[in-house]
Amino acid sequence: MDKWEWKLQSNGQFSTHTLSKMIDSKQLQHFVSQHETDRLQILPQKIGILTWRVKKRRIPVRVELDNRGVDLDSVRCPVCNNDLETVDHIFLHCNFAKDLWARVLRWWKASGPSYSNLEELFCGVHDPSQINQHSNIWKAIE
């Protein structure tokens, strides 16, 4: 009897999960160093990729899209309309982002300093007294 055999899995059965993991691992090798991917193993893969994109400023915010010639009605943040939509704004300064950070820190039973930009956040300027059970997650995100 003829049948298809999937060589990338030991049981010969095709699965989209296996294919997806294979594609992701190959794509990540081109963009992220092995050291970076090792640090990100404790995080869900999507969070690791988002963190990498934020660090590299590869998030399609309105200011960047406008700089690339995309015609937009406004470059202001659509959530708060208080400032330009930049990577720093959407992850640190927008009221929504501030509230989200406060909730995460409360969940972690920690307090955190405020940052003026993402470079400060990722440089690891933290209070050593705040190290707790979530410090490995924070180190991976940095």
Tokens of 135: 């410090």
| Distance between CA atoms of residues 104 and 100, nearest Å | 6
For residue 32, the model assigns a pLDDT of 52
The pLDDT value recorded for residue 60 is 94
| pLDDT tens digit sequence for 15-26 | 888 777 777 666
Contact 90, 59 (CB under 8 A): yes
pLDDT tens-digit series, residues 55-103: 888 899 999 999 999 999 999 999 999 999 999 999 999 999 999 988 8
Answer yes or no: pTM beyond 0.75. no
With cut-offs at 50, 70 and 90, classify the pLDDT of residue 6. confident
For 19, residues 6+ apart whose C-beta sits below 8 A from its C-beta are 8
4-10: long-range contacts, CB 8 A cutoff, minimum separation 24: none
- CA quadruple 18, 22, 27, 32: dihedral positive or negative? positive
Of 75, 71, 73, the closest CA to residue 62 belongs to 75
Q: What is the distance, to the nearest Å, from the Cα of residue 34 to the centroid of all Cα atoms in its chain?
A: 17
Residue 14 has pLDDT above 90, yes or no: no
